[in-house]
Amino acid sequence: MNTKKSPRYFIYARKSSESDERQVQSIPVQIKILTELARDFKLKVVGQPFVETRSAKEPEGRPIFEEMMARIEAGEADGIIAWKIDRLSRNPIDSARIQWKLQEEVIQSIQTVGREYCPDDNALILSVESSMANQYIRDLSKNVKRGLNSKVDKGWRPGSVPHGYLNTKFPERGTNYIIKDERDFLIIRRVWDMMLSGCYGPEEILDTLNNEWGFRTRRTKRRGGDPLSKSGLYRMVTNPFYAGWLAYGDVFKKGEHEPMITDAEFDRVQVLLGRYGKPRPQRYEYAYPGRITCGECGGFVSATFKEKYIKSKDEVRTYVLYYCTTARRHPDKCSQDHYTNLNSIEKRIEEELASVTILPEFHEYALDVLEEMASEEHVAMKAVEDKRQGTLKTLKTRQEELLNMRLKGLLDDEEYLAQKKQIKSETAKIEAGLKQPQNGKGSWVELTKETFDYALYAHRKFLNGGPKVRREVLEGLAGLNCSLKDHELNIQAVEWLVPIQNDYPAIEAGYRLLEPDLSRTSGTENAFEHFRPVVRGRRDLNSQPPA
C-alpha cells in the first residue's frame, strides 16, 4: 500500500516591474488561472499566494522568492505552482538551486500551465528550459543596450527627458525623438531667465514657479502631478541638457535636441549658484555676483565677507569684499587677486546713476512731448500703410494687364518675362515693408517712457533699497557692462541711457537759469519749451528696453 502523502503546493506569481513583459499575464490573472489549475488537478494549496514584482535576472534580488524557498526547506510545502518555469528563475544560480532541491526531493513537484516537473524526470529538460530563460534575459539586455547606445550615437538621449521637453511616440521602434513641450518649454525658460538675472534666489524662483505659475511635474503611471521640489529645481538648473548637451554614461556630446539656453548662459548660472553648480550656504546676501566681470581676464567677480575685531571700540565689523574668481583659483592666469571693498564699488555706481538722473519737472514734460510724437507718428504710419496698399493694388493690375498683352500676342516671351520679373521684385519689396513691425504708440513710446521713469527713480531706489533692489538698478544701468580692475569699477551705461548722459546736463542747466522767472510764466512746461527739439530728437532712447 502506497503511504506517500500528496504534495502541498505554494502558488508563486511574478511579473517584473523593471521591464515591459507584455507576453506574461498580469498578477491577478496569473493567480486566477493557477488557482483554477490547482482545482482541476486536485492539487492541495497551502497558505496565500506568493506575489513578487521584482526581476529574476539577478540572484538574491527577490525577498518573496527567498521566503517561499525557506518555508519549503522548513517543510511547510513540497511543491510550487507557477505560470512558467521562467517565473521562478532567469539566472543560472537560482535555476541550479531549484533543480538541486528537486533532485533532493525537497521540492517534490513543480506544476506549470504546460507541464509538471518531478524528481524522477530527466534533469536535462529542466536544465534546457532554465537555460533558455536565462539566455533570453541576456539577449534582451544586449539588445536593449545596443539600442540605447545606437540612440546616443545619433545624438538623442535615451529614457525620459527633463521638464520642458517630450519624447515623441512613434509606432516604429527606434524612431522616437525629443521635441519641445509646448506647454512647459517657455515656463522653464523663464526659470532660467530669473536665474540669469541674478535678482532671485532659488527659493523665490521655486515659489513663483509652483504657486504663481501653477507648475506641476509631469504625470506618469506611478508618480508626478506635484509641485517641483527644491532638489528638483537644482537638478534642473545644473542639467547641461538644457544647453543642448547629451550626457549618458561616459558619453558627453552635443545632442540633436533644440537647446533652451546657450552654453554661456548655462555657465553663468553655475557661477551664480556656486562652484561646480552647487549652492553655497551664505550668511549674507550679496548684490553683485555675476553682474561684474574682471577687467583683466573677463572672469566673473564674486563676493565674500570678512569680520574684523576693532579693539579700540570693542566691536566686530563686517566687510563685504569682491574678488576675481579666476585670479583666486588660477593666479597664473590673472593678477587681480586682491579684494575690493563694497563701499568703493557702490560709490562708483552712485556717481554713474547721478549722471542719468533727471528732474521730476522734465520727466513730466518729456512724457507730454512723447504723447504728441506718438499721435503724429500714428497718422504718418497710417498714411504710409495706405500708400503701400495702393501701390500693391496698382502692381497687381499691371501684372494682369501684362498677362493679357502676352495672350493677345502684343509681347513676346522675352519682353513678358522681363516685365513680370520687375513687377514681382517691386511687389516683394512692398510686402516686406508691410511685414516689418510698426513703431506705433504701443511700442517705442512705452519703451522711451520706461527710460525716463528709470532716469527719475533709479538713484533714489538704489539709495533706499536692499541688495536685490540695488542689483536690479545696476542691471538697468549697465546690463553686464561692468568690469573691475585695480579696485576701479568701470561702468558702460546701456545704449538707451547714453542720450540722457550726453544731452540732459545742458537741459537742466538751462532750466535752472529760468527758475527765478517760473512764477511769472504760465507753467513749468513753458520753461522747457526751448528744449522741445532736443526731446523730440531723442527717439534713439528706445533703442534697447530697460532691464
CATH number of the CATH domain containing 229:
3.90.1750.20
Structure-model confidence comparison of residues 269 and 17, the more confident one: 269
| Per-residue pLDDT at 82 exceeds 80 | yes
Domain membership of residue 355 (yes or no) is no
DSSP 3-state assignment of 268?
helix
How far is the C-alpha of 103 from the C-alpha of 105, rounded, in Å? 5
- Report the domain count for the chain: 5
Q: Does the residue 158 lie in any domain?
A: no
Range 141-167 average pLDDT = 72
* Cβ atoms 112, 25 nearer than 8 A: no
More confident residue, 79 or 378: 79
Q: What is the arithmetic mean of pLDDT over 147-157?
A: 69
Q: Cα(461)–Cα(447) distance, rounded to whole angstroms?
A: 20
434 in the same domain as 476? no
Which secondary-structure segment (H or E) carries 526? helix 524-528
Q: Is residue 218 part of a domain?
A: yes
Cα(529)–Cα(372) distance, integer angstroms: 14
* Shared domain check, 419 and 384: yes
What's the pLDDT at 56?
A: 75
Q: Do 393 and 300 share a structural domain?
A: no
| Range with lowest mean pLDDT among 2-16, 45-59, 159-173 | 159-173
The whole-number average pLDDT for the span 362-380 is 65
Among candidate residues 247, 146, 236, the one with its CA nearest the CA of residue 188: 236
* N residues, the chain: 547
Confidence at residue 546, expressed as pLDDT on a 0 to 100 scale = 41
Residue 334's nearest CA partner among 153, 486, 183, 475 is 486
> Mean pLDDT, the chain, as a whole number?
77
Report the percentage of the chain scoring pLDDT > 70: 74
In a domain, 356, yes or no: no
Q: Are residues 380 and 333 in the same domain?
A: no
Residue 357, domain member (yes or no): no
Distance CA 270, CA 242 (A): 13
Mean pLDDT of 386-397: 81
Residues 431 and 449 in one domain: no
User: Side chain identity at 307, as an amino acid letter?
Assistant: E
Whether 319 and 406 share a structural domain: no
The rounded distance, in Å, linking the Cα atoms of 178 and 76 is: 53
Does residue 304 share a domain with residue 268?
no
Please identify, among 245, 277, 309, the residue that sits at the C-terminal boundary of a domain: 277
CB-CB neighbours of 477 under 10 Å: 25
- Distance between CA atoms of 181 and 15, rounded to whole angstroms? 33
Residues 207 and 300 in one domain: no
Residue 224: pLDDT band with limits 50, 70, 90? confident
What is the 3-class SS of 228-264, one letter each residue? Answer: CCHHHHHHHHCCHHHHCEEEECCEEEECCCCCCCCHH
Percent of the chain with pLDDT over 90: 9
Residues 24 and 109 in one domain: yes
Q: Which parts of 373-479 are beta strand (E)?
A: none
Confidence of residue 379 (pLDDT cuts 50, 70, 90): low
Task: Report how far residue 228's alpha carbon sits from residue 219's, in angstroms, rounded to the nearest whole number.
Answer: 12
Instruction: List pLDDT tens digits, range 431-475.
Output: 776 665 554 444 556 666 677 777 778 888 888 888 888 888 888
pLDDT at 346: 92
Distance CA 21, CA 53 (A): 12
Given 403, 418, 440, the domain boundary residue is: 440
Residue 392 has pLDDT above 90, yes or no: no
* 230 domain-assigned: yes
What's the pLDDT tens digit per position in 227-245?
Answer: 888 888 888 888 888 888 8
Q: Which three cell numbers stand for residue 521?
A: 510764466
216 & 110 share domain: no
Domain membership of residue 312 as a residue range: 293-348
Bridge partners, 486 (sequence order): none
Last residue of a domain, one of 79, 109, 141: 141
pLDDT band at 545 (very low <50, low <70, confident <90, very high): very low
Q: Do residue 67 and residue 132 come from a single domain?
A: yes
Same domain, yes or no: 13 and 135? yes
Q: Is residue 353 part of a domain?
A: no
Amino acid at 525: E
Does some domain include residue 150? Answer: no
Q: Is the pLDDT of residue 484 over 90?
A: yes
